[in-house]
Structure 1
Amino acid sequence: MTGAAAPEEAAAPAALAATVTGRGRGGEPAGGGPREARARRLRRGLRPWLLLAPALLVLAVLLFWPLVRVLQLSLQDYGLREINTGESNYIGLGNYREILGDSFLWTKVLPNTVVFALACVLLTVAFGTLVALLLQRLGRVWRTICSSVIMMAWAMPAVTGTYVWIWVFDPLDGVVSGGLDALGLIDPEQTNWFTDRWAFYAIAALNVVHHGFPFVAVTVYAALLTIPRELPEAALMDGANAWQRFWRITVPVIRPVFLVVTILSTIWDFKVFAQVYLMPGGAGSNEDVLNLGVWSYIQSFSRNEYGMGSAIAVLLTLLLLGITVLYIRLLSRERDEL
């Protein structure tokens, strides 16, 4: 044992010297020298980008170029004549000045977009959280049934769901109008839910919440399963009621999940299109109910003012980018606190 250990003991000083001097036994730089080390770091840094290159190339073709093209059109007075001739008619920021100087943006379109989105987010997160708490209390069989029904609502296309709600609130043959008429509360021939601005967006909000709450419910329910059972049990023994256990234990523990579903719902609800455009009056005949997305579409494809429509789309994109930046910063802050 002593003879076998002698070579290792003799090699230890040599290894230590090689570590200190950066040279091997033959006097060569250990690890290939600084140049080789830089090359290895470069290859290590480029490897993730090489793996992501195909996906980034596809995104550049499908996403980046259309964004660049929309930005170019927003700086032009671009209509049918320019499409036929292929000419460019750059007017700088003229479209943006016209849009930002139009009172219609500030009194109708922007309030419709912002207030509607915030209301939908609040209702979606609140209702989805209540459904998640219900799923937590149900047994396995009923939880499976309710989860399946919830997923059916989530899987319904936005177009289909919109036409269902249009039928429900149809002024003459709808379920709501028929029920209220039977109770003597309204006259269906004189009531149209889609002409009033607030009633229009109330129906649209029901549509959006119905389509969006399953995502919140499933996500929050998954987060509830991660809460240690000892925490609510200890709070219950201390005399805390259900409301106190929810605000003092559930919300702080799964706060990052609430943040994620809230920000994602905000992004989705700000760019709602089909739920507004497909409803009666939402395609432009009732200008009081236009939001930014529908207004951009109508300016481009109904009035052939592609430059103006592109400028509106750019403003909506900037608004969504601001929300996305806020989302990333809040997530980073949550991660740092954890």
Structure 2
Amino acid sequence: MTAGTVPAPVPEQARPRGPRRGPTARRKRLITTTRPWLLLAPALVVLAGLLLWPLIKVILLSFQDYEVKFGGGVGTYTGFDHYTDLLGDGRLWRTVLPNTVLFAVACVALTVVLGTLAALLLLRLGPVWRLICSTAIMAAWAMPAVTGTFVWVWLFAADDGLMSKLAGALGLIDPATTNWFTERFAFYAIATLNVVHHGFPFVAITVLAGLLTIPKELYEAGMIDGANAWQRFWNITVPTIKPIFLVVTILSTIWDFKVFTQIYLMPGGSGTNEDVFNLGVWSYQRAFAQNDYGAGAATAVLLTLLLLVITFVYIRTLFKESDEL
């Protein structure tokens, strides 16, 4: 180029441009946002069909007087009448709700404590004995609830039950006149043993999996600092696997609040003794034994709301702990 020559203008198409942030970028963000939901869509549809739709039907049924007829049924809208009757029923506050809450609290506490102790024991065993003992305790979890309940009923059966004979031999009771299942406290004590025996293996194996992830150097440092076994457990083990404790507590709470089989199959639990009803059994009795499907549905909705509140509190605590880590 000679002096004084004016450079030719650069064509518009040849000018360098920055990164385009037009439709392409928006399309990528849209794909990134929607792709996980598209992948989850089949599972969500199945869950909606199996869980959400029946839940909606139960809620709708709780606002009706439903009469079963040949070939179908007819529902009459009654508003909140079933909920008003439910909350105004003295049996709810006097026996059913205390039975449900106190029984669940006792079962959850004992299940988590016993499962944690079993996990600590398994941790101290060698690989072979750990496998043998883990398999043995998992047999209790694999046993159907119906089978386990009948075993406990047989153990505490009047006259010829093993525990009745043992207590009679020790002079604690008279086996000929004592029936463990007619008294409210004894009934739920047996039910608690049944539920804890069935549920602690899951907690034990889950907590054991968490214990195996804790570095041994943490315990060695604690021993060097002079911490005893309880201090090492409380200051090292619990904070490290606290999310696992929260998860097993949430699951145990959900399972134990809606226990039905273990109560219903015990003598007196199927309808002859209303003092031992919990919300699950009471809902079943009102719906099917008394043919009051709306009242039974309202009781089931109350139990669901109670579980949702408890689960929400646990999950909020879990996420709060995760944010602090």
What's the TM-score once normalised by structure 2's chain length?
Answer: 0.92
1:332 aligns with 2:323: no
Name the aligned partner's letter for residue 72 of structure 1.
Answer: L
- Gaps of at least 5 residues in structure 1 are 1-22
CA distance in 2, matches of 1:141, 1:190: 48
TM-fit CA distance, 1:225: 1.2
Name the aligned partner's letter for residue 151 of structure 2.
Answer: V
Bigger drift between 218-227 and 294-303 goes to 218-227
Name the aligned partner's letter for residue 75 of structure 1.
Answer: F
Candidates 279, 282, 290, aligned match of 1:303: 290
Correspondence for 2:23: 35
- CA gap of 1:28–1:201, structure 2 versus 1, over 3 A, is same
TM-fit CA distance, 1:64: 1.3
TM-fit CA distance, 1:289: 0.4
Contact 2:62 2:297 in 1 (8 A): yes
TM-fit CA distance, 1:30: 4.4
1:77 aligns to what SS in structure 2? strand
Correspondence for 1:58: 46
* 1:101-120 superposed matches below 5 A: 101-120=88-107
Correspondence for 1:166: 153
Contact 1:108 1:288 in 2 (8 A): yes
TM-fit CA distance, 1:234: 2.2
1:49 aligns with 2:37: yes
Name the aligned partner's letter for residue 298 of structure 2.
Answer: A
TM-fit CA distance, 1:94: 0.3
TM-fit CA distance, 1:221: 1.1
1:226 aligns with 2:213: yes
1:190 aligns to what SS in structure 2? coil
| CA-based RMSD | 1.8
Correspondence for 1:178: 165
Deviations 1:312-333 (A, max 9, x none): 0001111111122122211211
- CA gap of 1:85–1:131, structure 2 versus 1, over 3 A, is closer
1:235 aligns with 2:222: yes
CA distance in 2, matches of 1:250, 1:205: 27
Candidates 59, 74, 83, aligned match of 2:62: 74
Q: Which has the higher helix share?
A: 1
1:291 aligns with 2:278: yes
Candidates 131, 136, 139, aligned match of 2:123: 136
CA distance in 2, matches of 1:34, 1:24: 17
Correspondence for 1:277: 264
Correspondence for 1:320: 307
Name the aligned partner's letter for residue 69 of structure 1.
Answer: K
**Identical columns (%):** 65
CA distance in 2, matches of 1:35, 1:92: 51
Name the aligned partner's letter for residue 135 of structure 2.
Answer: S
Name the aligned partner's letter for residue 238 of structure 2.
Answer: V
1:284 aligns to what SS in structure 2? coil
1:88 aligns to what SS in structure 2? strand
TM-fit CA distance, 1:28: 7.7
Contact 1:79 1:307 in 2 (8 A): no
Deviations 1:145-196 (A, max 9, x none): 1111011111111111111111111112111001122223221111000000
Name the aligned partner's letter for residue 46 of structure 1.
Answer: T
